[in-house]
Amino acid sequence: MSSIYQYFLAIILMLYTTASFAKNTDQLIEEEKFIEKYEGFSSAAYTDSNGQRVIGYGHAVSSDEHYNQITKKLSETILIKDIKALEIFIKNTVNVPLSQGQTEALISLIYNWGKHNFLKSKGLEYLNQDNYDAAAHEFFSKEKGIVNINGKFSKGLYRRRQAELELWND
């Protein structure tokens, strides 16, 4: 009985995931291309400036994953999975309505910055207080935004934050 239940549960989950993916395919592709542009691709795992092991398009390798090499195709699949997980994370974390552009901007920001940093940020606090402008300033501005690597200003991160700000304002 238990295995039959698990079988039907797996089918329902698959149908739900397929329907959800089909509904948002264009948006997912746009988000995927945006992140790919700023992350770049590495077929070999490496340690980033924060000490995190990453691979592909900036995928943070978890302790239960054992990637040393990866293809672009597999990396794209993992990136889509990561984006979908971030969409759920944002829905469970942000308590105010977001436009599609704001959601896409946050997906890119959190993918790059990390969930932990986002959760403890002043920007999330402002956002959940319905102060969208202050949140955007905290996330994307040159003065307060996430634009430094190891305490040094990064033109690349600043360009990414400005592109995210454009999404936010759409």
Residue range 79-104, pLDDT digits in tens: 999 999 999 999 999 999 999 999 99
Q: How many C-beta neighbours within 10 Å does residue 64 have?
A: 5
Between CA 12 and CA 23 the distance in angstroms is 16
One of 48, 125, 130, 166 is an active-site residue; which one? 48
Could you report how far apart the first and last alpha carbons of the chain are, in Å? 51
Mean pLDDT of 32-50: 94
Residue 20, classed as helix, strand or coil, is: helix
Name the active-site residue from 39, 82, 104, 164.
Answer: 39
Is 39 designated active site? Answer: yes
Distance CA 96, CA 103 (A): 11
25-39+72-169 maps to CATH 1.50.10.10: no
